[in-house]
């Protein structure tokens, strides 16, 4: 299947951070998070085509990424407090890759498909707990002090802003 086939089959829509997605589950169970009640968990399909990327962003909940198919996905995690960058490669059968990656709440993250051929893609799922709300999502480029972090090792990933 090509990326277009998967997008049509799974009925994916454009995601604000880049790529394609569809929410496939939102728990009816509610949990309290500060002043806000939200779903206990949510899950989406998420697809990046060749040359597509998930822009640097931060979410106020834990995310568990699951690899489903296609080419490997590079998942970047940056802790702005410790200034530590971790690079995860998600895939189900490569020795240097793992099928699951975890991004703790508050960790800056970005992703890109390692696909090289037109029509290729990386298909993953993302489970968020407590459930994802766009009110808890921020693009890193919108944070006033973000540029100070994009030096050294992280400077090679400024194209993901």
CATH code (residue 149): 2.60.120.10
Angle among Cα 76, 10, 63 to the nearest 5 degrees reads: 30
Q: Give the total number of structural domains in the chain.
A: 1
- pTM here is 0.93
Q: Summarize pLDDT for 80-94 with one digit per residue, the tens.
A: 999 999 999 999 888
Where in the sequence is the domain holding 32, given as residue range(s)?
Answer: 3-160
Q: Summarize pLDDT for 129-139 with one digit per residue, the tens.
A: 999 999 999 99
Other residues' Cβ atoms within 10 Å of the Cβ of residue 59: 21
């Amino acid at each position: 299947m090509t990326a277009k086939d998967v997008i049509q089959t799974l009925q994916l829509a454009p995601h604000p951070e880049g790529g394609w997605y569809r929410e496939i589950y939102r728990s009816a169970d509610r949990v309290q998070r500060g002043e806000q009640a939200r779903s206990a968990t949510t899950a989406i399909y998420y697809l990046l085509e060749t040359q597509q990327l998930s822009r640097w962003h931060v979410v106020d909940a834990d995310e568990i990424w699951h690899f489903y198919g296609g080419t490997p996905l590079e998942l970047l995690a940056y802790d702005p407090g410790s200034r530590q960058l971790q690079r995860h490669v998600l895939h189900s059968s490569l020795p240097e890759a793992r099928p699951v990656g975890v991004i703790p709440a508050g960790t800056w993250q970005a992703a890109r498909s390692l696909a090289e051929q037109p029509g290729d893609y990386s298909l993953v799922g993302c489970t968020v707990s407590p459930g994802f709300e766009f009110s808890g999502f921020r693009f890193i480029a919108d944070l006033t002090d973000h540029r100070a972090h994009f030096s050294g090792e992280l400077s090679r990933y400024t194209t993901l802003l």
